[in-house]
Amino acid sequence: MIKINVHKCISCGSCCQSCPCQAITMVDNKPKVDEKKCISCGSCCQSCPLKLIKLKV
Ligand code: SF4
Ligand code: SF4
């Protein structure tokens, strides 16, 4: 499960593009995760320029 600090998000869209499962979509310019699609690969965490995404186990 991933956790995104949306308050600091600059809406760059990098996390959405990095996800191999299309689990992240931009809703009102903020990333929203579909937990059912997420495979916890960590790609989005790496892609965020501000490191706002954390993978929680
Ligand atoms: S952890 Fe992987 S599958 Fe889950 S939202 Fe991030 S990039 Fe997509
Ligand atoms: S990569 Fe980071 S800053 Fe860019 S949209 Fe995703 S959470 Fe926001």
Q: Give the model's pLDDT for residue 8.
A: 98
> What pTM value is reported for the model?
0.94
pLDDT-above-70 percentage for the chain: 100
Element (H, E) at 54: strand 53-55
C-alpha–C-alpha distance, residues 31 and 13, integer Å: 8
Residue 9 lies in a domain: yes
Tokens 């308050």 belong to 7
Residue 39 lies in a domain: yes
Give me ligand 2 centre to Cα 49, in Å: 7
Residue 20 lies in a domain: yes
Tally of domains in the chain: 1
Ligand sitting nearest the alpha carbon of 15: 2
Q: What is the band of 12 on the pLDDT scale with cuts at 50, 70, 90?
A: very high
Residue 6: give its domain's CATH number: 3.30.70.20
Residue 57 lies in a domain: no
Q: Which atom of ligand 2 is nearest to the CA of 24?
A: 6
C-alpha–C-alpha distance, residues 22 and 50, integer Å: 20
Q: Give the model's pLDDT for residue 57.
A: 77
Give me ligand 1 centre to Cα 27, in Å: 16
